[in-house]
Amino acid sequence: MTTENKLLSSLSYLSVLFLPVLFPLIVLVLTSDRPWVRHHATNALLLHLLPAVLLVGIAIIAGIMGITTNNAASVGWLLIILLGLFALVAAAFFIYSIYTGIKILVN
């Protein structure tokens, strides 16, 4: 495994600090001949996109509950709970991305 492959794979995960979705997408498009790098770029892209997808899901759930119940207090509590869980999941993905990027560089 070359140093360039390790660096690209690691930066795909560490891009959560500077270009969360764009960098892994660029690496994915430009490295069609390197399956190991593509694998890590795909994983990093999914790790960066999942929190956004979860946030859209939370917004849809809150909107549907708001329309059906007309009860602002219950929607507010639901949002507090769901956004708290979202913060935990997003923080876990963030830490895991940094950990994986460093792990690839060290190995």
pLDDT in tens, 55-81: 999 999 999 999 999 889 999 999 999
The structure tokens 């759930």 sit at 61
Q: What is the pLDDT along the chain (107 residues), one digit of tens a residue?
A: 789 999 999 999 999 999 989 999 999 999 989 999 999 999 999 999 999 999 999 999 999 999 999 889 999 999 999 999 999 999 999 999 999 999 999 98
DSSP state of 16: G
Distance separating alpha carbons of residues 7 and 41, to the nearest angstrom: 11
3-state DSSP call for residue 2?
coil
The pTM score is 0.88
Give the other-Cβ count within 10 Å of 48's Cβ. 23
To the nearest 10 degrees (0 to 180), the angle between helices 22-30 and 35-69 is: 140
